[in-house]
Structure 1
């Protein structure tokens, strides 16, 4: 505990090589123009500058306003794309500092704490996302902030008001950045209420207050989406399309999302069999072009529910494939096994193995595991389950990685002891 209290910016010094690596990756691999999802985030940031978020005549809401708000000032100042990408280094520096402080509450050896932080910082998918104007680095910072202040809230008896506010703030902004966390927050509220029936401990109350507060931070956004779309509790207009692709009944398709522009011929792709995709989905997707984004979302959902009812076995197969993509980034529809798949194979295999060990240690020490560990484990399971049901892919797993590494580190540090036995003695 004393170590955690003494931590300041000077504790970033051990991570300077890692931060320098991020800078090199950005300088070397950043494209000259916007690519992929970068254009979407810039689009929303420019909208915020103009005084709105979505076009009220046809509101198209693909993500929450969290990350666009974070880059609004650089966009307003017409900052070069390269410098906006370098903001990822700032976000990750703050994330590492918070993660260090979190681990230092429980692990007494600074070198071990630093080593675990490097495991987070060198996680391979993170190295790939750091070069883009993407929300992953910002999301990891928000997750580390939530973890730090939430654990402090549950383990310390001082400054609880501050820790409650900050843990709720970080989680709320995370939900505005990755909208799946909005549903996680609601399940957290429900889970705490059910638990509270049987156990009225202070930690359950604090957890419940954290989830409620984080949801309150999301209410202005939900009020806005209801105002522009007429739909209550709308986080975005993309879920129907994702569910449609997850429910695909066609063979050799694995439930991963495919851009409608590829099907309609508005953009090119590196898919092997685009003709097959067009044959299977072209007529339906082209029939949606006259409709607004809200109407398309509803039609996609209706078609997805129909597919699930008529082809439940295929939906189950797609779900298994989605689970594999969440950790191994494979399989994808009509795409071959790529060399980059092996980029995820080794680290995520180790991750899964250690998560299994962690689960075993928790269940064998179930009476002494603190409540906050159960809450974080619950959040992890809900998040991984939700991502698998929607659109499992490694990039979407990134915001959860700090939770998973923390749970592994905490559990191994507390419940596992390794001894070397000299049998010749």
Structure 2
């Protein structure tokens, strides 16, 4: 009885749910701010039977995934504090899903350790009180991770469908995953054509196709509005424009098209006018012409201006890409901005993320053939997402939502790597590679008792 309670993740991680809820209640302001207003407006639109206003005022700034979850709250005009409290549940479930996923392919000690690290990850608190997409995205990423592992290990159709639906709703929440789906599907189809062992790649392609099918109603809707195929949203053009900026002291971070330079980090008022003047000197003429057009044409014109900048200044684009990676990890540099003391925390957490990722990358490459397929598939999705994120104006929150994957990866490597040895541990067992794994149907574990870390990542099951 006691043992079953101590191994129940919903009980183990309950203190995190309580802490998250208390933190939100104490720190949440009663008013809506910035992007929160837009998400609630989209929810109101959905309740009225549409998502975006019609031409010429089309607004597809973000996908409908998050506004769909807000519809019941918008319908009954629920106070914002209760909407924010959803974040506590999202983050709690993200920890639980990570634990359950790791328990399948590692052992109890590794799963509980990574779950605790996930629960105390400090960057969570920066978005926990906000009505933003990030807490839901944490939950969906962990849910995707867990469902893919079950799909690959159980080989039952229901888990394949759940994995696809989770990834599909993640795509509707973060539309950048639309491009991730397409790129990953192309890669999987290429492997199906040229690889001898196709079973895993076929299963991955099915997951991706189900996810893509989830987005088809939205894509059909955007086609009726814009006449453009595979049109996910109109926010990418402006982001790419700032990312491609060829000017000195501009590092690819997003700026308002009004060129006010009032984004994070906040500036001293004495310098605000001077820095805004530099922005206008560099961009006013071009931006002013683009803003004369409707929203969809603006998106296209910003993309064209970005492509022109990249062609004429490819080295500066690569520098901005490097700055983007730095911002995702360390929250700096920012254009025309002073230092912020909060960056110190980001330097510490970003350094841990960076060096942990590099260490895992070395172990994984060295043992690639011994790495089980679900880990490879999850890393493929994550890698494509991060590569694409680096090409747009990026911030820590773009990286933070993939922390469940990093912890999953670290946990898998920890459970399979001998201390001071690059090779995975094999204790009296033959190594089972990814091709042999496809012919085995392993039930989910009821309990995993201090399972030795095998090179295949398959635990001893009782």
TM above 0.5, one fold? Answer: yes
1:412 corresponds, among 411, 414, 428, to 414
Q: Partners in 2 of 1:154 and 1:417 — Cα distance?
A: 28
What's the offset of the Cα at 1:270? Answer: 3.0
Give the length in aligned residue pairs.
410
CA distance 1:255–1:10, shift in 2 (3 Å): same
Pairs within 5 Å for 1:184-195: 184-195=180-191
Aligned residue number for residue 274 of structure 1: 276
Aligned residue number for residue 156 of structure 1: 154
Matched residue of 1:255: which SS? coil
Pairs within 5 Å for 1:14-413: 14-57=12-55, 58-109=57-108, 111-157=109-155, 160-196=156-192, 197-263=194-260, 270-271=266-267, 272=272, 273-413=275-415
Q: Partners in 1 of 2:408 and 2:264 — Cα distance?
A: 41
* 1:262–1:268 contact (8 Å) kept in structure 2: no
The one-character-per-residue Cα deviations of 1:40-86 (angstroms, maximum 9, x if unpaired) are: 11111111111110001221111100000011111111110011000
What are structure 1's unaligned runs of at least 5 residues? Answer: 1-5, 420-425
Q: Partners in 2 of 1:7 and 1:60 — Cα distance?
A: 49
CA distance 1:81–1:262, shift in 2 (3 Å): farther
What are structure 2's unaligned runs of at least 5 residues? Answer: 422-462
Matched residue of 2:390: which SS? helix
- TM-score normalised to the size of structure 2? 0.85
CA distance 1:326–1:266, shift in 2 (3 Å): closer
The one-character-per-residue Cα deviations of 1:198-233 (angstroms, maximum 9, x if unpaired) are: 233321111111011110111111110011111111
* 2:54–2:225 contact (8 Å) kept in structure 1: yes
Q: Partners in 2 of 1:199 and 1:399 — Cα distance?
A: 35
* 2:265–2:337 contact (8 Å) kept in structure 1: no
CA distance 1:7–1:90, shift in 2 (3 Å): same
Q: Partners in 1 of 2:352 and 2:96 — Cα distance?
A: 24
Q: Partners in 1 of 2:116 and 2:107 — Cα distance?
A: 17
Q: Partners in 2 of 1:43 and 1:304 — Cα distance?
A: 30
The one-character-per-residue Cα deviations of 1:344-401 (angstroms, maximum 9, x if unpaired) are: 1112211111111111111222221112222222222211111111122101112211
Matched residue of 1:54: which SS? coil
| RMSD of equivalent CA atoms | 2.1
CA distance 1:115–1:40, shift in 2 (3 Å): same
The one-character-per-residue Cα deviations of 1:268-304 (angstroms, maximum 9, x if unpaired) are: 9934412211221122222233311001111111111
